[in-house]
Amino acid sequence: MSQVPAGLKYVKTHEWLKREADGSITVGITDYAQASLGDLVFVDVPAVGRKLAKDEACSVVESVKAASDVYAPIAGEVLAVNGKLADAPEVLNSDPYGEGWLWKMKPSNAADFDALLDAAGYEDFLKSL
Amino acid sequence: MGLEPGKAFALPKPGHPAGHGQTHFSNLERFVTLKHTALHAEHQRLNAKLVDFAGWDMPIQYASQLDEHHAVRADAGMFDVAHMAALDLSGARVREFLRHLLANDVAKLTLPGKALYSCLLREDAGVIDDLIAYYLDDTHFRLVVNAGTTDKDLAWIRAQAPAFAVSVTQRSDLGILAVQGPQARARVLPLLPQALRARAEALVNFQAAWDGECFVARTGYTGEDGFELILPHAQLLALWSQLLAAGVKPCGLGARDTLRLEAGMNLYGQDMDESRHPLESGLGWTIAWQPQDRDFIGRAALEKLRGHSAHQFVGLVLEGRGIMRAHMPLRFANGAKGETTSGGFAPTLKQSIALARIEAQAEGACEVEIRGQWQAVRIVKPPFVRHGRALI
């Protein structure tokens, strides 16, 4: 069974979002996503400063089997990216909600975050798959 | 993210109609639609991720595909490859028949048990399949062919066989288990019947021994030492269980694909098919041109192509970051073009490698287009890895 931590927000394309104390948003892929992809061997993250539109394909994660786009779950500007992933993409498998975060962003509209699925909503969605 | 379940788990389907295998089955549909090997219940018990591979419900991985890959390079792993078919050919003229049927020459096989890799060609030299032929005795040979091509191979072979009074039997009563890795032989040998053990231990590469229906060959598809065993289903299951207890790691078709790619071995349906001839598929070495009077199917077409192939077949190593996949465009400094046929991450090398078909006149620096960006690649001669060591 996939882990779906409480306190995070989720989208149906299997990204998670966390609101930090300073109002910035951290984005990653869910446990369900990493398990479905298998061993991850390459991660490409967006450039710091890039302005992302909602649902824009802005990052790529590649497993031994396939490449998958990661979509910006909300609009905003990239503030920081996880530089560790270039040399250690496997942390996306081992710690998708922690060390395996992809990027931090400043949301264009803080309310966008609130409208997303909570843990219970994402779990219900996973059950429907 | 772009997570399409069928797609994320999909491997190339050798010789299988495009699109098949991307279908989503319910459990019941899956059970009645897909064929099962004798080890299917074992795969389920071990929580393997199962996929439709050429109409068979096969394990793509058990836990980690990377761990499975490394186990074969460093120790020993085992693969259920019972979706492939063993075909037994018999008749007084069976050798003469195979010398006509195959592009490689079974006349090279002078000792019973010796094996040969060959292409099965159409008259126009398109590749129907690649296979291994085992010389059993003067009236019997065994062929091992790919899963996705079994039916068309059988139809083709049976169409040619009557002229030589050769009979062809598909051995659906037997299954194939590959045990591969530097420790593979040491793990298998103690488990073989006493009558077979010493002979199996003495096998050289591409040679087989058997006792009754228990058949063991020193062959494989990983670039490592090991055995491929062809056994009745009950014995296959028993051997699997004993090897599991002995610590041999079950490995899925995902690891099998990265291992064979590192070993520079072609995958039928991806690196070559009926629309491609061996000389543009890196398989020129498998054609036996001598003796000149051997009239094998495809020879006339190949003689015309010899020295005039429009394409060559090479290995690629990506210099920078990223992963090459099949069907990515290539361009050369002199304007020549090409395309990857297989590509992926090479776990042993920790970088991306590919096999590619390029225009014969290609020269100079080469680049591959990965999602709209051109990146430098280095041309190499496969294999990339052999016996656990990087060769590039």
| Mean pLDDT, residues B3-8 | 48
Residue A64 domain-assigned?
Answer: yes
Report the candidate in B379, B374, B318 with the shortest Cα–Cα distance to residue B346: B318
CB contact, 8 Å: A64 with chain B? yes
CATH number, position A73: 2.40.50.100
Structure confidence at residue B4 as a pLDDT band (50, 70, 90)? low
> Which residue(s) pair with B197 in the sheet?
none
Q: Where do the domains of chain B lie, and which CATH numbers do they carry? A: 310-390 (2.40.30.110)
**The two three-digit tokens of residue A128, written as one number:** 């429907």
| pLDDT tens column, B298-323 | 999 999 999 999 999 999 999 999 99
**The two three-digit tokens of residue A7, written as one number:** 């306190």
Structure confidence at residue B33 as a pLDDT band (50, 70, 90)? confident
CB contact, 8 Å: B251 with chain A? no
CB contact, 8 Å: B328 with chain A? no
> CA B78, CA B55: separation in Å to the nearest integer?
21
pLDDT along chain A (129 residues), means of 10: 94 97 97 95 96 96 93 97 96 97 97 96 95
| Mean pLDDT, residues B350-362 | 97
Of B1, B9, B254, the CB nearest to A61: B1
> CA A63, CA A65: separation in Å to the nearest integer?
5
Residue A126 domain-assigned?
Answer: no
Report the candidate in B364, B392, B365 with the shortest Cα–Cα distance to residue B377: B365
> CA B267, CA B261: separation in Å to the nearest integer?
8
- ipTM of the complex in this document: 0.86
Count of structural domains, chain A: 1
pTM across the whole model? 0.92
Residue A75 domain-assigned?
Answer: yes
> Which residue(s) pair with A63 in the sheet?
A40
Provide the CA B45 distance to its chain's centre, in angstroms: 26
Structure confidence at residue B20 as a pLDDT band (50, 70, 90)? very low
Residue A23 domain-assigned?
Answer: yes
Report the candidate in B386, B312, B313 with the shortest Cα–Cα distance to residue B354: B313
> Which residue(s) pair with B80 in the sheet?
B177
CA angle A13, A16, A20 (to 5 degrees): 150
| pLDDT tens column, B363-373 | 999 999 999 99
Task: State residue B31's pLDDT score.
Answer: 72
Contacts of A69 in chain B (CB under 8 A): 1-2
CB contact, 8 Å: A31 with chain B? no
Domain membership of residue A100 as a residue range: 9-109
For chain B positions 358-387, those within 8 Å of chain A (CB to CB) are 371
Task: State residue B3's pLDDT score.
Answer: 65
Q: Which residues contact B272 (CB under 8 A, 6 or more apart)?
A: B119, B127, B130, B266, B278, B281, B283, B341
Task: State residue B28's pLDDT score.
Answer: 73
CB contact, 8 Å: B342 with chain A? no
Task: State residue B139's pLDDT score.
Answer: 98
Task: State residue B24's pLDDT score.
Answer: 57
Q: How far is A47 from chain B (nearest CA, A)?
A: 16
Residue A120 domain-assigned?
Answer: no
Residue contact A38–B254, C-beta within 8 A: yes
Which string of DSSP letters, residue by residue, matches chain A? -----TT-EE-TTSEEEEE-TTS-EEEEE-HHHHHHH-SEEEEE-PPTT-EE-TT-EEEEEEESS-EEEEE-SS-EEEEEE-GGGGT-TTHHHH-TTTTT--EEEEESSTHHHHTSB-HHHHHHHHHH-
Nearest chain A residue (CA) to B66? A39
Beta-strand relationship, B127-137 and B174-180: unpaired
Provide the CA A122 distance to its chain's centre, in angstroms: 14
Contacts of B2 in chain A (CB under 8 A): 13, 57, 68-71
Residue A89 domain-assigned?
Answer: yes
| pLDDT tens column, B87-130 | 999 999 999 999 999 999 999 999 999 999 999 999 999 999 99
Residue contact B10–A60, C-beta within 8 A: no
Q: How far is A69 from chain B (nearest CA, A)?
A: 5
> CA B384, CA B389: separation in Å to the nearest integer?
9
CB contact, 8 Å: B221 with chain A? no
Residue A121 domain-assigned?
Answer: no
Amino acid at B1: M
| Mean pLDDT, residues B218-240 | 98
How many CB pairs below 8 A link A and B?
77
How many C-beta atoms lie closer than 10 Å to residue B241's C-beta?
Answer: 12
| The dihedral sign for the CA sequence B319, B321, B323, B327 | negative
How many C-beta atoms lie closer than 10 Å to residue B24's C-beta?
Answer: 10
Contact A58, A32 (CB under 8 A): no
Task: State residue B15's pLDDT score.
Answer: 39
Residue A49 domain-assigned?
Answer: yes
**Does B228 count as an annotated binding residue?**
yes
